[in-house]
Chains A and B, each alone.
Chain A
Amino acid sequence: MSKLWAVSRHTIAAGIRMKVALFFVFLIALSVLGLPLVLEGDGSLAGAIQSYLTYVLVLIGLLLSLQTILLSWTLSEELVQRQILILMAKPVARWQYIVGKWLGIVLLDLALLTGAGLGVYGMTRYMAALPERIEGDHLKIGSEVLVARHVSQVHVPDFTAEAVRVFERRREEGYYADRPGVNAAEEKKKLRKAIETDWRIVPPFAGRLFTFRNLLCERAPDKFLQLRFNITVYNPPINDVVSCVWRFGDGREGSVEYPPIRRRYVKERIHTVQVPSDAVGPDGMLTVRFENIDPFGENLNSMPVFHFEEPKTLEILFTVGTFGGNLVRTLALLFCRLLFLASVAVLAASVFSFPIACISTMVFYGLIALRGFILDAFEYMNEPGIIGGFFTGIGWVLTQVYRFVPDWQKTNALELFADGRNVTLLWVFLGFGKLGLASLVLVGLTCLLFERREVSEVSV
């Protein structure tokens, strides 16, 4: 262990003495302290903080990824400059050398990430204490930004049985008579989707009952949940302001039924309504009724149609943790990525010389960071002809490669974190489990390759 630590320590010293780490410390400090000066957000203080948290963590992740890639230089440099000859003549096993290098890079990342995290925390707290830019800013910051909120999306009923029923009825009525080759399963799937869409649409003078389940919150009249929604409005009024009624609770045993709440909203924006937590039943179920009526009688001649398009357009949130804890978990997920990237960088550096190793790791980094975009792009270019076939071929190869690479996006918690949503510990464990395991596999592979390598390289 002391040999591992000696190699790690030396790698850290190399990173610092050769000013790689110092350069990134400077850039990270600049990001943490300078971004608030240039970000405006939506004009509110809460928006500015949300923008800051998003951008600063993206920047920190990017900078530390670059640092990780560049620090692998210490390995290829030792091979090129031949310090490895002295090193491998000492009683250090090759696996100890590789793991020590990896550990050194990872520890330096961890140190900088910790420093950056403390900086972000302090800066955010400082910003939150600034005067409000719009009314209610501090309240919003406290309840929607600097918190860790559990999110529960609306429960969507299973419409399969109804889809089957409709399909059978249509078949009996001869609806499919002129389409003998219709795929029954596919048709039922489409029907189910159509029924669900109908369910999400609330026509004029109609209401819809939504339920949220497993809400393990504290139930008390002075505690509130947040109903967060974003409605698509068809046939909107000229001023884009619509009105509706919300009803919370259903009076079941233990659930308080509250009187209707009448509200006006600007269409297609995210809105939040406070829901008393004792409207939730002891079984953790909350009933919410949405009514498309015009309680203020402003648009009775031309009533709009409301559509809750996707699951995320209607959800319940409630506080389960602190901003600090959420920040730590978000950074932990970021660290998982760095672990993995460090193992890729060390593998590349043990095989290639410095510039090639860095370039290949950067290409790999780009491929995994832009996975979704790249696959979509190749799918988009899937056209007939030689060029289309070429891109299809590349897309297919990339898809196969991606099967063996952990999905980077699954450890991306930045968006949720900036939105005050809880980054769960389970998520962090899964991140460490998947990326940590993948890292160990790569480091093991590097050790095997390095074991066979003649460290005194020969060019003939």
Chain B
Amino acid sequence: MVTGTIPVLQTVGLTKIFRDFWWRARVEAVKDLDLEIHRGEVFGLLGPNGSGKSTAIKMILGLLYATKGRIAVFGRPPTDVQTKKRIGFLPEETYLYRFLDARETLDYYGRLFDQHGRVRRDRIDRLLEMVGLQHEAKRRIGEYSKGMARRIGLAQALINDPEFLILDEPTAGMDPIGTRQIKDVIRELARMGKTILLSSHLLADVEDVCDRVTILYGGRQRKAGDISQLLTRENLTQLTTEKLSENTIEQVRDLIHRLEGKELLNVTAPCDKLEDLFLRIVREAQASNIETSGARASGELPSFLGTSKDEDEGGVVIESLVEAGRRSPVVPETVEPALPPQANGGPSKAVLQQLTSKPEASPAEPSPAESAPQERRAPADVDRSVIERLVKDPDEGPSTSSGSGSGSKEGGRGE
């Protein structure tokens, strides 16, 4: 069993060099990557296509072998089978079996965790509900849209209630509703104390959910740190008030000039995010019961998630914990104020409470509330320009690095 002091993931000098048929080194996909992710963190691996994100993840999972360096997942080598009981993985594309339906797919992966039949069936039902595909469970994956397949991909990654979730481009191919749902799920999982490694080149995704990020370019680590520190522009101050008249604005401008000797740089009316507008329209359509063949509104996070984080084995133990989790909704009545309404039918108050209340917390481990980040940034008040400058696609502007070109092509496809 892992103690609280051991990082969930640690890489030291991780390097991957791809060789050609003649064994000549051709691409340095990852170079000297040092990562340390601790329990409860949501860690972002950020970078443009070909920056080495997926290669790094595959090494972390033991799917590729490091040319140099060391990897420890829960203090064990990445190929250790027992460690993988604690990991959930969603690859950059949803590589599922086209001839299986959603239920069969999840059943197959559940069996690989030695899950007891009843527990497995129960989890499958809840996960299908969570990803909004309970009505499409009998359709073959081959008939699914990319977004629907992505949802099943997420469900399979959660089938074992993982302690460490690795998500490679989780919102790729998803519509804004799905993207929002995925982000909500990530937030809730983080609140439950899960450790999440999120790889993406979509800045908004990372910014919305991550605590810390590492930015890769050309396989090398360019910048790393707490996301709020990275994004805060210390030399600027932003005030937000209700709408002001021109006269008041002029007076404020004068006051600032008089007291601080500085200029008021920008005065605008804040806009709604397009995402919010879109979600509002879709919510109205759903309220009118307009038919769609795609995924329904996402349901609640399954109650089994987070119940087995202190034990490795499935089967009876998990079952007992699931049972314990089912009893937990009794608690919230005395606790929470009303949560803000979810834009998309995401986790409700009662479910969230159910999810975040652990039946039994191990004394050796911090509770999810303690280990999870205490505060998440509001996305609107940060400056993205730092990240954008760093991850700017080399084809769109002057190169910032003399690294090994555009990186590796894995299986004929970049990241």
Nearest-neighbor residue (CB-CB) of A452 within chain B: B65
A457 to B409, CA, bound (A): 10
Given A3-B112, A458-B408: A91 touches B95 (CB 8 Å cut-off): no
Q: Which of A78-86, A274-282, A428-436 contacts B (4 or more CB under 8 A)?
A: A78-86
A381 to B95, CA, bound (A): 52
Write out, one digit per residue, whether chain A residues 85-98 have a CB within 8 A of any chain B CB (1) or not (0).
11111111100000
A42 to B284, CA, bound (A): 81
- A456 to B99, Cβ gap below 8 A? no
User: Taking the complex as formed, is B144 at the interface, i.e. its CB lies under 8 A from any CB of chain A?
Assistant: no
Nearest-neighbor residue (CB-CB) of B166 within chain A: A89
Given A456-B63, A458-B18, A458-B411: A14 touches B112 (CB 8 Å cut-off): no
Write out, one digit per residue, whether chain A residues 267-286 have a CB within 8 A of any chain B CB (1) or not (0).
00000000000000000000
Q: Which of B26, B108, B410 contacts A456 (CB 8 A)?
A: B410
B91 contacts which chain A residues (CB < 8 A)? 82, 85-86
A41 to B307, CA, bound (A): 71
A460 to B410, CA, bound (A): 7
A458 to B100, CA, bound (A): 27
B408 contacts which chain A residues (CB < 8 A)? 458, 460
B99 contacts which chain A residues (CB < 8 A)? 13-14, 17-18
- A454 to B89, Cβ gap below 8 A? no
A87 to B82, CA, bound (A): 14
A5 to B91, CA, bound (A): 25
> Do most interface residues of chain B lie in helix, strand or loop, or is the interface mixed?
loop
Interface residues of B in 158-181 (CB under 8 A from A): 160, 166
**Interface size, chain B (Cβ < 8 Å):** 40
Q: Which of B81, B153, B166 has the most CB of A within 10 A?
A: B81
Interface residues of B in 310-344 (CB under 8 A from A): none
Q: How far is the CB of A267 from chain B (nearest CB, A)?
A: 62
Nearest-neighbor residue (CB-CB) of A1 within chain B: B114
Q: Which of A7, A14, A81 contacts B95 (CB 8 A)?
A: A81
- B19 to A460, Cβ gap below 8 A? yes
- A2 to B95, Cβ gap below 8 A? no
- A85 to B95, Cβ gap below 8 A? yes
Range class of the A interface residue count: 20 to 34
A458 to B18, CA, bound (A): 8
- A90 to B20, Cβ gap below 8 A? no
- A93 to B81, Cβ gap below 8 A? yes
A13 to B108, CA, bound (A): 11
A90 contacts which chain B residues (CB < 8 A)? 84, 109, 112-113, 160
Write out, one digit per residue, whether chain B residues 8-29 have a CB within 8 A of any chain A CB (1) or not (0).
0000000000111000001100
User: Taking the complex as formed, is A235 at the interface, i.e. its CB lies under 8 A from any CB of chain B?
Assistant: no
Q: How far is the CB of B273 from chain A (nearest CB, A)?
A: 33
Q: How far is the CB of B114 from chain A (nearest CB, A)?
A: 5
Nearest-neighbor residue (CB-CB) of A19 within chain B: B99
Nearest-neighbor residue (CB-CB) of A77 within chain B: B97
- B114 to A2, Cβ gap below 8 A? yes
Given A14-B99, A82-B411: A88 touches B61 (CB 8 Å cut-off): yes
Q: How far is the CB of A141 from chain B (nearest CB, A)?
A: 46
Q: Which of A87, A91, A455, A459 contacts B85 (CB 8 A)?
A: A91
B87 contacts which chain A residues (CB < 8 A)? 89
- B95 to A454, Cβ gap below 8 A? no
A91 to B113, CA, bound (A): 6
User: Taking the complex as formed, is B62 at the interface, i.e. its CB lies under 8 A from any CB of chain A?
Assistant: yes
A10 to B110, CA, bound (A): 12
A454 to B91, CA, bound (A): 16
A422 to B124, CA, bound (A): 53
B85 contacts which chain A residues (CB < 8 A)? 91
Given A89-B84, A460-B26: A13 touches B62 (CB 8 Å cut-off): no
Nearest-neighbor residue (CB-CB) of B62 within chain A: A88
- B20 to A460, Cβ gap below 8 A? yes
Q: Which of B58, B93, B97, B111 contacts A3 (CB 8 A)?
A: B111
A82 to B153, CA, bound (A): 13
User: Taking the complex as formed, is A6 at the interface, i.e. its CB lies under 8 A from any CB of chain B?
Assistant: yes
Q: How far is the CB of A190 from chain B (nearest CB, A)?
A: 58
Q: How far is the CB of B93 from chain A (nearest CB, A)?
A: 7
Given A6-B111, A17-B100: A91 touches B81 (CB 8 Å cut-off): yes
Write out, one digit per residue, whether chain B residues 52-69 have a CB within 8 A of any chain A CB (1) or not (0).
000000100111110000
A87 to B156, CA, bound (A): 10
User: Taking the complex as formed, is B398 at the interface, i.e. its CB lies under 8 A from any CB of chain A?
Assistant: no
User: Taking the complex as formed, is B119 at the interface, i.e. its CB lies under 8 A from any CB of chain A?
Assistant: no
User: Taking the complex as formed, is B397 at the interface, i.e. its CB lies under 8 A from any CB of chain A?
Assistant: no
A83 to B97, CA, bound (A): 7
User: Taking the complex as formed, is B230 at the interface, i.e. its CB lies under 8 A from any CB of chain A?
Assistant: no
User: Taking the complex as formed, is B412 at the interface, i.e. its CB lies under 8 A from any CB of chain A?
Assistant: yes
Q: Which of B112, B156, B412 contacts A91 (CB 8 A)?
A: B112
A450 to B236, CA, bound (A): 56
Interface residues of A in 424-460 (CB under 8 A from B): 454-460
User: Taking the complex as formed, is B96 at the interface, i.e. its CB lies under 8 A from any CB of chain A?
Assistant: yes
Write out, one digit per residue, whether chain A residues 65-82 have a CB within 8 A of any chain B CB (1) or not (0).
000000000000000011
Interface residues of B in 390-415 (CB under 8 A from A): 408-412
A83 contacts which chain B residues (CB < 8 A)? 95-97
Query: Can you show 22 pairs from A to B with CB atoms below 8 A apart?
Result: A3-B111, A6-B108, A6-B111, A6-B112, A10-B108, A13-B100, A13-B104, A18-B99, A83-B95, A86-B89, A86-B91, A90-B109, A90-B112, A91-B81, A91-B112, A454-B63, A454-B64, A454-B65, A456-B63, A458-B408, A459-B410, A459-B411
For the complex with contacts A85-B95, A86-B89, A88-B63, 5 further pairs of A-B residues with Cβ separation under 8 Å are A3-B114, A85-B61, A90-B109, A90-B113, A460-B26
| 10 pairs of A and B residues whose beta carbons are closest in the complex | A6-B111, A17-B99, A89-B89, A82-B95, A456-B63, A91-B84, A90-B112, A91-B85, A460-B26, A456-B58
